[in-house]
Amino acid sequence: MRRSVVAIAIATGLGLAGAGSGFSDEMDWGPYEVGDLRSGYTFATAATRAIQDDDFDNPAFLWVDYGEELWTAVEGEAGKACASCHQDASDTMANVGATYPVFYEPWGKLMNAEQRINQCRTENMKAKAWKWESRELLSMTAYVKSQARGKPIDVTIDGKAAPFYEKGKAFYYERRGQLDMACKNCHEDNAGNMIRANLLSQGQSNGFPTYRLKWQGVGSLHRRFRGCNKQVRAEPFGYGSDEYVNLELFLAHRGQGLPVETPAVRN
């Protein structure tokens, strides 16, 4: 027999508690609320939201601007820049942020935006892949995905993507770690409740890469997954692992219709 999640959390010192936090259902959240879906923006503090509201205040734009610089930088043995083949990113990259991960035929599995970028570097530029969480890869991913800002998430989960979506979904509902908790236990059962000093959100992925005040920098969605896995004292999976890319597709679809917010700002 399983104890309730809240009982487990209290017993283990996670300290889940009911809201009383300034979280308000009365607010009109505009584009950040679509049906029952609510962006992490609607759970962030007013001060944090204000930073995201102003692109000049939003420190994530230092990464986006660097991504824009890299876009035209020639690198690798092929003597090309991203712009040599893709020209104007606002045109050619307009949908990536809303539609990835996708099924990638040559791999026979999913590919996310970071992997697509690195695939172009190694295959098309004959340049070295950028490391996960490097300033370069975060900046380029933020730059590419931000071209879709405001567009509703619209991923494909049928056809060849279907089995990978199912794996991602299973991962989401699977309990893990010493605390024996699934993603669902925090982000579905307890969205709007406090966990220690944090207000739990629905755990939506539409703002990544995201600037986190706690990180004092931009981080990828996979970094966030690793953090959430560690919170329940589970072994995190690797950056770019199949487990996380499948989970990424499930999460995107779970938030289908929310606007791309990259680069978001969160506590």
- Interface residues for ligand HEC in 20-79 (CB under 6 A)? 40, 43
Amino acid 149 reads R
Helix or strand or coil: residue 176? Answer: strand
Among 232, 245, 249, 258, binds ligand HEC (CB under 6 A): 232
Among 21, 124, 241, 256, binds ligand HEC (CB under 6 A): 124
Helix or strand or coil: residue 152? Answer: strand
96 binds ligand HEC (CB under 6 A): yes
Phi, psi of 133 (to 5 degrees): 70, 10
Cα separation of 217 and 58, whole Å? Answer: 11
Interacting span for ligand HEC (CB under 6 A) from 17-25, 30-38, 161-169, 185-193: 185-193
- Interface residues for ligand HEC in 4-23 (CB under 6 A)? 14
117 binds ligand HEC (CB under 6 A): yes
Distances in Å between the Cα of 2 and the Cα atoms of 34, 36, 69, 181, 190 are: 33, 28, 53, 11, 17
Helix or strand or coil: residue 111? Answer: strand
Among 58, 112, 229, 246, binds ligand HEC (CB under 6 A): 229
Cα separation of 259 and 34, whole Å? Answer: 9
Distances in Å between the Cα of 132 and the Cα atoms of 35, 124, 138, 246 are: 34, 19, 8, 17
228 is a catalytic site residue = yes
160 binds ligand HEC (CB under 6 A): no
Cα separation of 27 and 36, whole Å? Answer: 14
193 binds ligand HEC (CB under 6 A): no
Among 121, 226, 253, 254, binds ligand HEC (CB under 6 A): 121
Residues engaged in binding ligand HEC (CB under 6 A)? 14, 40, 43, 80, 82, 84-86, 93, 95-96, 116-117, 120-121, 124-125, 140, 144, 181, 183, 185-187, 195, 198, 200-201, 203-205, 207, 210, 224-225, 228-229, 231-232, 247, 251, 266
Catalytic residues: 228
